[in-house]
Amino acid sequence: MNNSPFGHPAWIEIDLIQFKKNILKVKEYIGQTWLCLPVKANAYGHGLIPIALAACEAGVDYLCVSCLQEGALLRRAGIQIPILVLGAIHQDQISGLIHHNLEFTIDSAFKAKMIADICQQLRKVVKVHLEIDTGMQRTGVSIEAAAEVIAFIDSCPCFELVGVYSHFAMVDDLESSFTSQQIQVFKKFTESYIAKRDKKIICHIANSGGVAYFPDSYMDMVRPGILVFGHYSHIPQALKGIQPCFMLRAKIAYSKLVPKGEGISYGHRYTTPVNTRIITIPLGYGDGFRRSLSNKAHILMKGKRYPIAGTICMDQFMVDIGQDSAQIGDTVTIIGQDGREEITVNEIGMLCDTISYEILCGFNSRLPRVYHTENNSLWENEYLDFSF
């Protein structure tokens, strides 16, 4: 672990063996349905290229990203499977989308016309997915307008319609009937406009919640993200082998005895209750470890939990380890397992009053990422050299 770039003393570890197990579990669960893995936002903070390469090895059928930039990085890394760009397309991006052989989304009549004009000028044929809004009210063609947009797409030789999709708004509320309504509306749409066509069109709507609890939402392809990364909070029994593959670790930077009654860190928001040992961890909100975790979160050392003491600084925070001992340079776990103890991303999210997704996406590039496989462990930078 000492060969991290610049010997950096805090890092993210990704267990690609577990990640691939998660993919295989989901594949087994969904049967013949295609699996499209969302790798937007740096693969939910796990690192875009290594995750995408591992996903391809594990047999995912499709990748989806939010924007051209992410799709272009994947193509530059040599990834050849279909990639769908989910986000709204802007005029300036169309030639780049075509250049990188990305499939993209038509979400309105206006966009359809704009894209058609540019593609005709460039004399290119593009593969598109039509997005239908079934109740998210984010992007997507309304059900009422869908027939007209499909007719327009069909009238343009520059378009090859390869998919239609929609997105759930309420699937994380297992009590809500809204997801079933969305499925019904989307299925009615596909039966009216898609099923009778000569050419097969990929219909897809399910995200993680859909995969976990709405088998009638599978259709031709599913797009589970957080479930495959192992952080879905209500994993059904049949998917129990799915586990997180993300660990955050650091080396102890400093250790000292502090007498009873001393204030710790900015604002002295923690006072030592007794004579105690305080250690310093070289990680802070400048890395994406939230300041709102001050005095709330824990870390693990030698299989035991210890509380964060006081305010989290930009680059460091302190931990009260009581009467226990610690060596400078020893590794502690901030997220992940150590012995029988585990700190999950969900636990951290809850403490910050947010969801696992936002915590994962918040870790930035100051933290190097290392990838463990059966054969070796590669740092992201080595991985990149390797894959180009």
Ligand X SMILES: *Cc1c(COP(=O)(O)O)cnc(C)c1O
129 is a contact residue toward ligand X (CB under 6 A) = no
DSSP code string of 288-343? T--GGGTTT-EEEETTEEEEB-S---SS-EEEEEET----TT-EEEEEEEETTEEE
CB of residue 76 to ligand X, shortest distance in Å: 22
Radius of gyration, alpha carbons of the chain? 24
CB within 8 A of 70, min separation 6: which ones? 39, 40, 48, 85
- Please choose, out of 221-229, 233-241, 286-294, 372-380, the segment that lies near ligand X by the rule CB under 6 A: 221-229
Q: Is 40 considered catalytic here?
A: yes
CB within 8 A of 151, min separation 6: which ones? none
86 is a contact residue toward ligand X (CB under 6 A) = yes
225 is a contact residue toward ligand X (CB under 6 A) = yes
Rounded distance between C-alpha atoms, residue 283 and residue 7, angstroms: 14
Interface residue with ligand X, options 224, 230, 244, 368 (CB under 6 A) = 224
CB of residue 44 to ligand X, shortest distance in Å: 7
207 is a contact residue toward ligand X (CB under 6 A) = yes
Question: Which of 42, 163, 168, 149 lies closest to 103, judged by CA?
Answer: 163
167 is a contact residue toward ligand X (CB under 6 A) = yes
- Please choose, out of 142-150, 193-201, 218-226, 334-342, the segment that lies near ligand X by the rule CB under 6 A: 218-226
Q: Is 371 considered catalytic here?
A: no
38 is a contact residue toward ligand X (CB under 6 A) = yes
- Please choose, out of 3-11, 193-201, 223-231, 335-343, the segment that lies near ligand X by the rule CB under 6 A: 223-231
CB of residue 174 to ligand X, shortest distance in Å: 14
Interface residue with ligand X, options 223, 249, 277, 290 (CB under 6 A) = 223
CB within 8 A of 47, min separation 6: which ones? 12, 14, 369, 371, 380
Instruction: Give, in degrees to the nearest 5, the angle at Cα 178 between 175 and 182.
Output: 140
- Please choose, out of 74-82, 142-150, 179-187, 217-225, the segment that lies near ligand X by the rule CB under 6 A: 217-225
Rounded distance between C-alpha atoms, residue 368 and residue 12, angstroms: 6
Rounded distance between C-alpha atoms, residue 35 and residue 207, angstroms: 10
179 is a contact residue toward ligand X (CB under 6 A) = no
CB neighbour burial string for 187-196, b if at least 16 within 10 angstroms, e if fewer: bebbeebbee
Out of 20, 27, 40, 251, pick the active-site residue.
Answer: 40
129 vs 251 by CB, closer to ligand X: 129
Packing angle, helices 143-155 and 109-122, rounded to 10: 10
Torsion sign across C-alpha atoms 158, 161, 162, 165: positive
Considering only residues 334-353, where is the footprint of ligand X by CB under 6 A?
none
Interface residue with ligand X, options 208, 272, 276, 280 (CB under 6 A) = 208
- The 251-280 site mask, x for binding ligand X (CB under 6 A), equals ------------------------------
Catalytic residues: 40, 266
* Site of interaction with ligand X (CB under 6 A): 38, 86, 167, 207-208, 223-227
